[in-house]
Amino acid sequence: MQITAVRWPLHVVGPNNCHMQCGSLTLIALVIAARAAAAAPGEPAPPAAPVAAAADPGEAPAEGETVPRTPTTTLGRMFRGPFRSARLFAMPTADVIGAYVLTVSGEGSLLQQPGVLTSAGVLAVGFGDIAQLEYRHTEAIGITGLDAPVPAVGVQLKLPIPERSGIPAIGVAFRLGVPRGELLDGRNVDETVTDLYLVGRLRFTSLPWLTLHGGTRISFAKAAPAGADVVSRTLWLPTAGYELAMNPQASIIGELALAPQFQWMPAIQPAPAIGRGVLGRLGMKWRIVPSVILEGSLGYQVDDATPSEGFEAVVTWDIRLGAAVFVPWGALACRAVGVFCN
Amino acid sequence: MKQASGMILATVLGTAAVARAQPAPGGAPSPDGKPVPVSDAAAPTGTPAPTGTPTTGVPASPYEPPPSDPGPLLGGQVDPPRDGRAGPQRRHPPMRFPEVLTTPTGWLLPAGVLYSRNAIDTGGGVTSDDRVGLGDVAEFGVATTDQVRERQLLADKPVRIQPYITASFRMGVEENRLFAGQPGVTLGFRKSFEREHAGFKTRIAELTLVASKHLGPDAAIHIGGTLWDASMQATAQVDDMPAPETTLHGHGLARQIRAFGGFEARPLPRSQILIDLGWAPDFCYQCTAETDRIKLRPELSWGVRYQVASFMHIESGVRVPDIGNFNLLDAQIFGQVTFTSFALSDAVETLK
């Protein structure tokens, strides 16, 4: 076998040296043909696989992968991402949305309060690749029994630890509460909740479809009724969640957390009380296009439930629909006026 | 010999090209590249089904288009290609209905599919149910229902409260997704807006868990459990205080949990026979016993669904609102039309 020793142009192959080399070439060609035939048509060729994975909106983007910011980047390419979500439903995750990206998200409940459309939202701006600034509504149960979205401004950090299977990514989120007024029996009560979250995210190479989230919410809650003493309390509130990737675009998400609960019956209580309430959500996120995520979920203990009512009081559950839109403002600015380019 | 070598090479390359162009064994790939079971591969899709007798020997699936598809205007699945320059049409996943007649199934609408069902019956009921599939794992809908009934006294004949507006959210796992033979499973939640009627505010909510399984290509069974809840409160105040609220969950889980189910069979390619048994709440405003004020009544329905076109089905049948009393005088004959559309789904794919 001398196929590597001889370099013959095809046109000089003659009868005297044909049989062995041509036979070898034929054999090799047959092997290649068999391998090509054995590969399923839908199976991506090995060199193309990483490209396909990177372009897939449902895949978790690789660490450090960002939207290209060049003057020639097309709008379609910009909005193809990759984009990362920094929360489950209410719980922050150990991710940030990334630099030069802005996200606006909101959700509404048709049924949380009878006859009223309630809503909550988040506006977040990526700051470097490890932080984001946000204005959001955080979860607490108000004195009227509702899952009251209490406004807060916050910063979320991701600790720059290399990601490995079985080793959690760690994030810290601080949300500075802004007072929210509630009216009860003609008396106004300002409720404020300031939170510090310590959260971790765990993935395993052997279970690529599963992501676990867990952490603690340290909550500083304050109730200030008009004409009465201010009540405040510090609460340690565990929080946990999971994501199941059902297909490249959609995942099922569950979230269970304790939340501050304000309780006050002015007729029998001289001052409000601050306790703990359970909030649970089960739903899904659908990345309809890379830059838009639709969310839907059903929630437990968010209506006008009284503490004596339990799981079986499904008439107090609610349904929420939401959406998140990612805007690669850095890439847009680069394309428009040539600033913030890579 | 020189010519022979060229022929060998050309033959090898040609063989490779032909072999690569063949479909993978086990069925055509789905849009996401996963293999599709034989029964689903030719299900209602954007591409015309092959004509002629199937060579596999497997009976035609009820969820497949008829062998020769004349197009939707003539009752077929797909439009014939109008423009030769247009690319290959998108392959749509099979459409499985989220409801039998009145009870939910363990199947979900495919992602981005719009669903609208509108019904009338001989009792004067008019209902509508509009849904959208979310990501192949969930669906959201808003509906009006006429299943909720009211009466003043226990001996009175109940009348329907309508329109009674509800929102629903269901999520689940499609059939055969986790393992072969796995039934489709959905967890659903339906809740109404508060309804004021006859001096009372009422609400209902229902949490369901249902499994659906095909029994061969032409039949399917649905079995589930439901946790019902409802509340009722007089709008008039008592001593300047709100009237006490009566709830179904206030009387124990046994009064809330019920089993329901359904069965469907397709004796003809476009026609299905459907039967289901469900439950609906009944409010009694002046009943003295607390446990009589909110009750669940069994409801039996049976009927036929006919596929007029890929996007349109009509259904007709009989519904007995309180089969527990077996009072057929209360039975209603209903007719409903269901439209489904892949337009949003296709638009999303185009955007991608």
Q: Give per-residue pLDDT as tens, B273-283.
A: 999 999 999 99
Query: What mean pLDDT is predicted for residues A283-293?
Result: 92
- Contact of A213 with A234, CB cutoff 8 Å: no
Query: What mean pLDDT is predicted for residues B289-303?
Result: 91
- Distance (Å, whole) CA A285 – CA A296: 7
Query: What mean pLDDT is predicted for residues A38-63?
Result: 39
**Least CB-CB distance to B138: which of A40, A115, A296?**
A296
Q: What is the pLDDT of residues A260-269, one digit of tens each?
A: 887 777 777 7
Assign residue A50 a region: left if phi > 0, alpha if psi is -120 to 50, beta otherwise?
Answer: alpha
Q: Is the pLDDT of residue B20 over 90?
A: no
Contact A33 B19 (CB under 8 A): yes
List CB contacts (< 8 A) between B352 and chain A: 57, 289-290
DSSP A79: T
Q: In angstroms, what is the C-alpha Rg of chain A? A: 28
User: What share of chain B in percent tops pLDDT 70?
Assistant: 74
| Within a domain: B299 | yes
pLDDT at B351: 77
Contact A29 B13 (CB under 8 A): yes
- Contact of B220 with B210, CB cutoff 8 Å: no
List CB contacts (< 8 A) between A13 and chain B: 2, 5
* ipTM score: 0.72
**Which residue has better confidence, B256 or B28?**
B256
DSSP A62: P
Number of domains observed in the structure of chain B: 1
Choice among A174-188, A286-300, B114-128, B141-155 with the minimum mean pLDDT: A174-188
- Distance (Å, whole) CA B42 – CA B39: 7
**Which residue has better confidence, A21 or A324?**
A324
| Within a domain: B247 | yes
Query: What mean pLDDT is predicted for residues B129-149?
Result: 93
pLDDT at B59: 40
Query: What mean pLDDT is predicted for residues A328-338?
Result: 89
Neighbour tally for A311: CB within 10 Å: 14
Angle ∠(A50,A53,A55) on CA atoms, nearest 5:
110
**Least CB-CB distance to B140: which of A37, A296, A309?**
A296
> Scanning every residue of chain B, which has its alpha carbon at the shortest distance from the alpha carbon of A311?
B249
Taking the Cβ of residue A65 and every Cβ of chain B, the question of whether any pair is shorter than 8 Å is answered with no
pLDDT at A200: 93
Q: Is the pLDDT of residue B41 over 60?
A: no
- Distance (Å, whole) CA A267 – CA A270: 8
Q: Which domain holds residue B244?
A: 114-347
**Least CB-CB distance to B24: which of A41, A252, A282?**
A41
User: Among residues B212, B192, B127, B138, which one has the least CA distance to residue B169?
Assistant: B138
| Within a domain: B262 | yes
Q: What is the pLDDT of residues A170-201, one digit of tens each?
A: 999 898 887 777 776 677 788 888 889 999 99
Mean of pLDDT over chain B: 78
- Contact of B140 with B131, CB cutoff 8 Å: yes
Residue A263: alpha-carbon gap to chain centroid: 32
| Within a domain: B78 | no
pLDDT at A144: 60
**Which residue has better confidence, A259 or A282?**
A282
Q: What is the pLDDT of residues B325-351, one digit of tens each?
A: 777 778 899 999 999 999 888 888 887
| Within a domain: B250 | yes
| CATH code: domain of residue B159 | 2.40.160.40
Q: Is the pLDDT of residue B253 over 50?
A: yes
Q: What is the pLDDT of residues B52-77, one digit of tens each?
A: 333 333 344 444 444 444 443 333 44
pLDDT at A238: 93
Q: Is the pLDDT of residue B264 over 50?
A: yes
pLDDT at B196: 85
Beta-sheet strands, E only, within chain A? 102-113, 116-127, 131-141, 147-158, 169-177, 180-184, 187-204, 207-225, 231-245, 250-263, 273-289, 292-300, 318-327
Q: What is the 3-state secondary structure (H, E, C) of chain B?
A: CHHHHHHHHHHHHHHHHHHHHCCCCCCCECCCCCECCHHHHCCCCCCCCCCCCCCCCCCCCCCCCCCCCCCHHHCCCCCCCCCCCCCCCCCCCCCCCCECCCCECCCCCCCCCEEEEEEEECCCCEEEEEEEEECCCEEEEEEEECCCEEECCCCCCCEECCCEEEEEEEEEECCCCCCCCCCEEEEEEEEECCEEECCEEEEEEEEEEEEEEECCCCEEEEEEEEEEEEEEEECCCECCECCCEEECHHHCHHHCEEEEEEEEEEEECCEEEEEEEEEEEEEECCCCCHHHHEEEEEEEEEEEEEEEECCEEEEEEEEECCCCCCCHHHCEEEEEEEEEECHHHHHHHHHC
Q: How many CA atoms lie within 13 A of A288 on its CB side?
A: 24
- Distance (Å, whole) CA A97 – CA A82: 10
**Which residue has better confidence, A222 or A16?**
A222
> Scanning every residue of chain B, which has its alpha carbon at the shortest distance from the alpha carbon of A312?
B249
Q: How far is A32 from chain B (nearest CA, A)?
A: 8
Residues 6+ apart with CB under 8 A from B209: B185, B186, B187, B188, B224, B225, B226
Query: What mean pLDDT is predicted for residues B124-133?
Result: 92
Q: Is the pLDDT of residue A225 over 70?
A: yes
**Which residue has better confidence, B205 or A17?**
B205
Determine the 3-state secondary structure of A5 from DSSP.
coil
Q: Is the pLDDT of residue A296 over 60?
A: yes
Q: Where in chain A is the domain with CATH 2.40.160.40?
A: 83-337
Q: What is the pLDDT of residues A209-221, one digit of tens each?
A: 999 999 999 999 8
Mean of pLDDT over chain A: 74
A·B CB contacts under 8 A: 153
pLDDT at B109: 94
Contact A319 B168 (CB under 8 A): yes
DSSP A130-174: TEEEEEEEEEEE-TTSSEEEEEEEEEEEE-----BTTB-EEEEEE
Q: How far is B122 from chain A (nearest CA, A)?
A: 30
- Contact of B247 with B283, CB cutoff 8 Å: no
User: What share of chain A in percent tops pLDDT 70?
Assistant: 70
Taking the Cβ of residue A30 and every Cβ of chain B, the question of whether any pair is shorter than 8 Å is answered with yes
Question: What superfamily in CATH does domain A83-337 come from?
Answer: monomeric porin ompg (2.40.160.40)
Contact B137 A250 (CB under 8 A): yes
pLDDT at B38: 31
pLDDT at A120: 66
Q: Is the pLDDT of residue A24 over 50?
A: no
pLDDT at B338: 95
Query: What mean pLDDT is predicted for residues B289-306?
Result: 92
Give the CA distances from residue A243 to residues B188, B195, B326, in Å, rounded to whole numbers and listed in that order: 19, 36, 47
User: Among residues A122, A226, A223, which one has the least CA distance to residue A175?
Assistant: A122
Task: Give residue B252's pLDDT band: very low, low, confident or very high (50, 70, 90).
Answer: confident
- Distance (Å, whole) CA B338 – CA B346: 20
Q: Is the pLDDT of residue B27 over 60?
A: no
Residue length of chain B: 352
Contact A286 B191 (CB under 8 A): no
- Distance (Å, whole) CA B49 – CA B139: 28
Q: Is the pLDDT of residue A142 over 90?
A: no
Tokens 């320059």 found at: B85
List CB contacts (< 8 A) between A30 and chain B: 12
Q: Is the pLDDT of residue A9 over 90?
A: no
Q: What is the pLDDT of residues A29-39, one digit of tens each?
A: 444 444 433 34
Per the DSSP assignment, residues forming a β-bridge with B143 are B129, B166
